[in-house]
Structure 1
Amino acid sequence: MGTAYPFSAIVGQDEMKLAILIAAIEPAIGGVLVFGDRGTGKSTAVRGLAALLPPMRATADCRFGCDPSDRGACEHCRERKAGGSARSRNVPVPVVDLPLGATEDRVVGSLDLERALTQGVRAFEPGLLARAHRGFLYIDEVNLLEDHLVDLLIDVAASGENVVEREGLSVRHPARFVLIGSGNPEEGELRPQLLDRFGLSVEVKTPTDLAERVEIIKRRDAYERQPEAFVSHWQKEDIRVRHRVVAARARLAELTVPDATLAQAASLCLQLGTDGLRGELTLMRAARALAALQNDDEVTPAHLQRIAAPALRHRLRRDPLDESGSSERVERAVAEVFAH
């Protein structure tokens, strides 16, 4: 399990933890945006979940961590597989930080200068997107990210592939990851194009319950004083969560979404006036992942209601005649649609 703070030991923040679990079960949802106060466990939750997930199978000598059974693997892996020489090994699920000051070369990759100077060979040095393939790409203060990096992330998130053409190099490699962005809304808004790429949006707040705050402090202190012992204490709970995620992934393809449930999802989006159909698709996928996590046989209106706010609150148009927040507007629409 390593010494990452255990996912199961995080106190409260249930909506955030559920959203990250759902994104890990169904990466097609498109990642999670976490907005709220500093010091509320945003990065801790991502690292904790990655640490409890089972190791992933990757081609032994692949710089991108390709899945040996994946048709969308890089050219090198496809050649090795065709030649029957591909070996594989277990590797941890990566969590990669994308710092605000990162250059484009560091993000997408660049010419390996050392090999170019010492060997006279034009070789590609993979960037952060390559390291994040099949894992999590975490961006703190994502609303402050420079525009050119935002455009780049939008392209890669849409295609699942990173294309680099510069300095005589032409490289393309798979780059599919769960994008986790966090930030404080008081420091600036997120560009609509990137906001729309996040499947789920959750709000986190500093706990106001005294007992909850005391428990958070006690657990954090215990972890910092004896991290190995603390992780060991929570290992059974983390393993239980791991088994739930693995089982949910296996059950996802078997779950059916009744037409009546799809109709309610569409009615909810119509009621809220969301643009396009991404709201319905995300709501359906998230509800299906939630049903799989709960070991249910099919997706029901109850699943839609539970996941509606994270799936839709960031897709609402501003209404100058309605001063209520986006979460309140979603809750009101849910009450109206599901009352019938």
Structure 2
Amino acid sequence: MARFPFSAIVGQDEMKLALLIAAVDPLIGGVMVFGDRGTGKSTAARALAALLPPIAVVEGCRFGCEQPGQCPGPCTGSKAVRQPVPFVDLPLGATEDRLLGALDLERALRTGERVYEPGLLARAHRGFLYIDEINLLEDHLVDLLLDVAASGQNVVEREGLSVRHAARFVLIGSGNPEEGELRPQLLDRFGLSVDVRTPREIADRVEIMRRCAAHDADPASFAAAWADEDGKVLQQIARGQRKLAKIEVPEAVMVDAARLCSAVGVDGLRGELTLMRAGRAYAALKGAKAVRREHLVRVAPLALRHRLRRDVLDESGSGARIERALDELFA
């Protein structure tokens, strides 16, 4: 069944922008999406993964290696084939062994060989790892996930095994704050954060129903009708990836980022660093040669809203606090 086209998603512009930034710069640290149920969180993530061009993977490789000889374990493949970008769901009931990988017990009992069986992190390599209701996932698993996402390496030392393999993926978490909050120290490790709400405009809700009905009736025809728009998005991502390394960050923009983070009370320097990385990715998406203040202003809520301390005397929310600081600093 054809995936719902990314460009056919109605509204949710901030969520789509965060996903595009993560696609241009996977090192951004992932995207955390908080919001109501049924607002297209997983649909948007899956649509973006399906939109991206296939990647080269060694035939039969369980670690998603791009070229022969890169595997940490036995690999029989000798040539690369084209495969879709991985999109892996992490269920809430997953064990540590299923996530990281473990000893293949069946093979060990049958042949006596100690062979590593890759986990979900290996399957997600060079793709997306999606966790619905991440605020309900066990804390030690979230810790492991964020460590691997930051390092790009999965290291397994157990049961006589010592395995290290690449695990570079875009981590996307979603959750409903009413069902439990993510610990602040873990939330801070995500690069971008988005708040998604149910559309209030009647016209938007009707258009969503119309497009979902058309997709359910004939997924292939619906995808074909949006192929040109999805193609434009794909070109924008590809251009952004090519330009990213060449994007300049002027001194004045760095000062702006530091002033903003200081004004809203962001602890540590991760806020500035993520803000600059997101600004560069957004500038690359827009085809600019350097990061400008307007780029910082656009991505500031995404990069900073989840890093602010909760102010019990201010019920306006972190997004509103950032907007006020932007108005005061940059008019």
Q: Please indicate the TM-score interval, normalised by the length of the shorter structure.
A: over 0.9
**Contact 1:32 1:180 survives alignment (8 Å):** yes
Match of 1:197 among 189, 195, 198: 189
Distance, in Å, in 1 between the alignment partners of 2:290 and 2:299 is: 15
Q: Which of 145, 154, 158 is 1:153 aligned to?
A: 145
State the one-letter code of the partner of 2:169: F
- Structure 2 distance, partners of 1:275, 1:291, is 25
Residue 271 (str. 1) matches residue 263 (str. 2): yes
Partner of 2:47: 48
1:295 aligns with 2:287: yes
Match status 1:29 vs 2:21: no
In the alignment, which residue of structure 2 is the partner of 1:304?
A: 296
- Deviation track 1:77-114 (CA, whole Å, cap 9, x = no partner) reads 9x99xxxx952222211110011111111111112233
Q: Which amino acid aligns with 2:56?
A: R
> Equivalent residues in 2 for 1:1-340 (5 A)?
3-68=2-67, 73-76=70-73, 86-339=78-331
Q: CA deviation digits over 1:156-207, x for unaligned, max 9?
A: 1232111112222221111111110000011111012320111110011111
SS at match of 1:75: coil
Tell me, what secondary structure is at the counterpart of 2:102? strand
- Contact kept in structure 2, 1:56 and 1:91, CA below 8 Å: yes
CA distance in 2, matches of 1:331, 1:203: 14
Paired positions, count: 331
Whole-angstrom CA distance in 1 between matches of 2:113 and 2:257: 55
The CA deviation at 1:59 is: 2.6
Counterparts of 1:117 and 1:69, CA distance in 2: 29
1-structure distance, mates of 2:12, 2:98: 33
Task: Tell me the alpha carbon deviations over residues 269-307 of structure 1, each in whole angstroms, 9 at most, x when there is no partner.
Answer: 010110111111111111111111111121110000011
Percent identical pairs in the alignment equals 66
TM-score where L is the length of structure 1: 0.93
Q: Distance in 2 between matches of 1:22 and 1:186?
A: 27
Does structure 2 retain, via aligned residues, the 8 Å contact 1:23–1:29?
A: yes
Paired residues of 1:257 and 1:288 also in contact (CA < 8 A): yes
Offset, 1:225: 1.2
- TM-score (structure 2 length as normaliser): 0.96
The answer on whether the counterparts of 2:85 and 2:127 sit within 8 Å (CA) in structure 1 is yes
Q: Distance in 1 between matches of 2:35 and 2:68?
A: 39
Q: Residue type matched to 2:225 in 1?
A: H
Q: Is the 8 A contact 1:316 1:326 kept in 2?
A: yes
Secondary structure (helix, strand or coil) at the match of 2:298 reads: helix
Q: For residue 231 of structure 2, give the secondary structure of its aligned residue in structure 1.
A: helix
Shift of 1:66: 2.0
Deviations 1:237-270 (A, max 9, x none): 1111111101110011111011101110111001
SS in structure 1 at match of 2:172: strand
Opposite residue 75 of structure 1, the aligned amino acid is P
Q: 1:19 to 1:69 in 2, by over 3 A?
A: farther
Contact 2:33 2:194 in 1 (8 A): yes
Tell me, in whole angstroms, the C-alpha distance in 1 between the residues paired with 2:26 and 2:330: 28
Q: How far apart in 1 are the matches of 2:276 and 2:139?
A: 31
Q: Is the 8 A contact 2:18 2:31 kept in 1?
A: yes
Q: Which amino acid aligns with 1:228?
A: A
- Structure 1 gap ranges (5+): none
Structure 2: distance between partners of 1:69 and 1:178: 24
**What RMSD, in angstroms, separates the aligned Cα atoms of the two structures?**
1.8
